[in-house]
Amino acid sequence: MKKTVIYASLVLLMIGLVYFIVIKNKHQKEGPILLKDRVGLLSQSAEWPATKQKATELLAKIELDKEDEDAKLKLAELYIQEARITGDHVYYDKAAMHYVNMVLVKDSTNFEAVTYKSLIYLSQHHFQDGLNYALKAVAINPYNAFVYGMLTDAYVELGDYDMAVASADKMVSIRPDIRSYSRVSYLREIYGDYPGAIDAMKLAVEAGAPGDESSAWARVQLGHLYENTGEIKNAEMHYMIALEDRPDYAYAYAGLGRIKKANKDYKGAVEYFKKADALVIDYSFKDDLSDLYALTGQKNEAKNIAEQVINELSAASASGLTDENIGHYADRELAYVYIKAGKYDKAVEHAIAEYNRRPNNIDVNECLAWVYYQQKDYTKAAKYIRVANKTKSKNPVMLCRAGLILAKVGESVNAKLYLSQALKDKPNIDPALVMNCSQVLSTL
């Protein structure tokens, strides 16, 4: 009897040791994840040869020395940046996480690795996980500005706006640069201060190096702020400058597409959005194309693109079910696409899934309110739109939706206030939404 117990214990011990070895070396036994070739115009960009060369050198270093943690982290950083440039987050988030985890297996307190893990989680919209790792990074190094930027992003997405403001203040006090100024701008926009948001984004643009992806991004954000305040000429100017500094920048093309749409040059708008869509993987470009086709009476084209967006977003989201390193939460985006497809039950399903993850976020509450509005459940819509307005945002789309919803529940005074605020500066937003708001406003 005693021998049997000893034998069983030894077997269990061996199983445990094998399991430990397998888990410990899991990431090391996987093969290298290579840089993918860029396609189309992105392959002609000035930085691409240097990016390829750098990736080749880092992969060679890792192959020669499996313990080269610095090379692994530099490669992870390169892949994170490549995800931003190409939009291929499914591939590059996985690639970056692969090398980050290899480092963390040996040293769970490595500051860079913890920071990158937070950044990747935020990219995947795993905001609570991103916050947890950002807090861990701050505990390791409380004097790093970049980490407070990640805290700001995480708190914004989770709807803790007071903590987001505190984190952004800390970030800008440590290092006033393009990253910190752009976050200050976004928070000012959230709190309804468009002049302040524009001033801060100007500082971000001035702090950036012309031609860098981050500088082009900041300039495009500045253009979009001008669109929301009705300054279309200023917006167009910044999109053109972004393209001069960084040729074939997809988001600048999309900005020009919105300008063409505002000027009712729908053919020109389609061409710009097609250019953007050919450069970067981003569902929003197809979403805008779907809107344009619907606006010009091309219902089948609009429907086909909407279905394509649903398939792409669903595939990216589902990937997380089979691989811990990837998986992009996209329920809010899916809810809006399902609205356009007229599938309101599916829209509610995804909007609620997103709400359950972050019930305090104003954009998520706005999404859920708009879904219920489409279903004609105006009481529920009003409940969530009130939460969406808790920061007194002046976003014209949100104000339009708030006005339309409150008009349905008999709150005429507030409805009139929101609709008037939304339309007074003639923002560049969906013309069908503007027409609907104008009609309702005339009845109040």
**pLDDT surpassing 90 at residue 326:** no
pLDDT at 2: 42
Cα–Cα nearest to 357, from 168, 154, 167: 154
DSSP state at residue 428: S
Confidence of residue 243 (pLDDT cuts 50, 70, 90): very high
Query: Would you say 350 and 331 are in contact if contact means Cβ atoms under 8 Å apart?
Result: yes
**pLDDT surpassing 60 at residue 23:** no
Query: Would you say 309 and 302 are in contact if contact means Cβ atoms under 8 Å apart?
Result: no
Confidence of residue 363 (pLDDT cuts 50, 70, 90): very high
Rounded Cα–Cα distance for residues 310 and 101 (Å): 31
CB atoms within 10 A of CB 314: 14
Residue found under tokens 């709150």: 411
pLDDT at 354: 96
Confidence of residue 5 (pLDDT cuts 50, 70, 90): very low
Per-residue pLDDT, averaged over 352-360, amounts to: 97
Q: What percent of the chain stands above pLDDT 90?
A: 81
Query: Would you say 433 and 405 are in contact if contact means Cβ atoms under 8 Å apart?
Result: no
Cα–Cα nearest to 433, from 294, 259, 302, 285: 294
Per-residue pLDDT, averaged over 211-223, amounts to: 96
The pLDDT tens digits of the residues spanning 294-311 come to 888 898 888 888 888 888
The pLDDT tens digits of the residues spanning 367-383 come to 999 999 999 999 999 99
Q: Which fold, 357-444? A: 1.25.40
Residue found under tokens 């497809």: 341
Angle at 191 between CA 187 and CA 194, to 5 degrees: 85
Radius of gyration of the chain (CA): 24
Contacts of 34 (CB under 8 A, 6+ apart): 55, 59
Tokens of 386: 């009130």
Rounded Cα–Cα distance for residues 260 and 440 (Å): 27
Rounded Cα–Cα distance for residues 234 and 427 (Å): 13
| CATH for 176-247, options being 1.10.1200.120, 1.25.40.10, 1.10.10.10, 3.40.50.300 | 1.25.40.10
The pLDDT tens digits of the residues spanning 110-131 come to 999 999 999 999 999 999 999 9
Rounded Cα–Cα distance for residues 410 and 386 (Å): 14
Write the burial class of residue 153 (CB in 10 Å: 0-12 exposed, 13-18 middle, 19+ buried).
buried
Query: Would you say 335 and 351 are in contact if contact means Cβ atoms under 8 Å apart?
Result: yes
pLDDT at 141: 97
**pLDDT surpassing 60 at residue 320:** no
Per-residue pLDDT, averaged over 104-108, amounts to: 96
Domain limits, CATH 1.25.40.10, in the chain: 176-247, 357-444
Residue found under tokens 């069983």: 8
pLDDT at 21: 37
Instruction: Report long-range pairs for 337-344 (Cβ below 8 Å, ≥24 apart).
Output: 337/283, 337/287, 337/306, 337/309, 337/310, 337/313, 338/310, 339/370, 339/371, 339/374, 340/287, 340/290, 340/291, 340/294, 340/302, 340/306, 341/303, 341/306, 341/307, 341/310, 344/371, 344/374, 344/375
**pLDDT surpassing 50 at residue 397:** yes
